[in-house]
Amino acid sequence: MKLIILDRDGVINHDSDDYIKSPEEWIPIPGSLDAIARLNHAGYMVAIASNQSGIARGYFSLETLAAMNVKMNEMLSTVGGRIDAMFYCPHGPKDDCGCRKPKPGLLEEISNRFQIGLGEVMFVGDNINDVRAARAAGAKPVIVKTGKGEETASMVKQVNGYGDIPVYNDLNEVVNDLLQVHH
């Protein structure tokens, strides 16, 4: 089975320092939904691993998160795409849970759900905590420059042992490279 794991905010949709708190604020990054559909059509299962501390902080409810996911899934279905599994951490930074990235808990849950080792699985994120979670879970970190990715890309160049992490402009470029699509 082929699996790819994506962060949500900053990879699939535009991110905000004020959090994405409603379906209205959930706006896809151009090309990201088509990229997911192309992954699906190429036989990839697509999972999301997302910190959603806005729930713990009281900025939005689980129902609102579900409504955002409904919007994403409906928009994906119009381009022939789907998310196969969604894992999120609703906790805040002080909750000391095992699922909040940079800890590997969400990725380990995905590994268990799909009964697949993560050694060859890409985890596409825009944040240094995505990179750390991927490394901790034994997955392959990939950075996109959307969201907080520009800052993260310059940061990983300076961190010893992180220089080999691939950096792409956006999810569409990751998928082009993965599926060897050259224009």
Mean pLDDT for back-to-back runs of 10 residues, the chain (183 residues): 97 95 97 98 97 96 97 98 97 95 98 97 97 97 96 86 91 96 61
**CA–CA separation, 98 and 102 (whole Å):** 9
Given 7, 15, 130, 170, the catalytic residue: 7
Is residue 17 annotated as part of the catalytic site, yes or no? Answer: no
* pLDDT at residue 182, as a whole number: 60
> Would residue 52 count as lying in a domain?
yes
Kindly report the CATH number assigned to the domain that includes residue 141.
3.40.50.1000
The answer to whether residue 129 sits within a structural domain is yes
pTM comes to 0.96
177 noted as active-site residue: no
- Phi and psi (nearest 5°) for 85? -160, 140
pLDDT at 159: 82
Residue span of the structural domain in which 74 resides: 2-178
Length of the chain equals 183
pLDDT, position 28: 98
Q: Does 71 map to a domain?
A: yes
Q: Compute φ and ψ for 130, nearest 5 degrees.
A: -65, -45
- Structurally, the chain folds into a number of domains equal to 1
Cβ atoms 123, 107 nearer than 8 A: yes
Predicted confidence at residue 156, as pLDDT, reads: 85
Q: What per-residue confidence (pLDDT) applies to 162? A: 83
Q: Which of 9, 15, 130, 170 is catalytic?
A: 9
Q: Which helix (H) or strand (E) holds 129?
A: helix 128-137
Please report whether residue 183 resides in a domain.
no
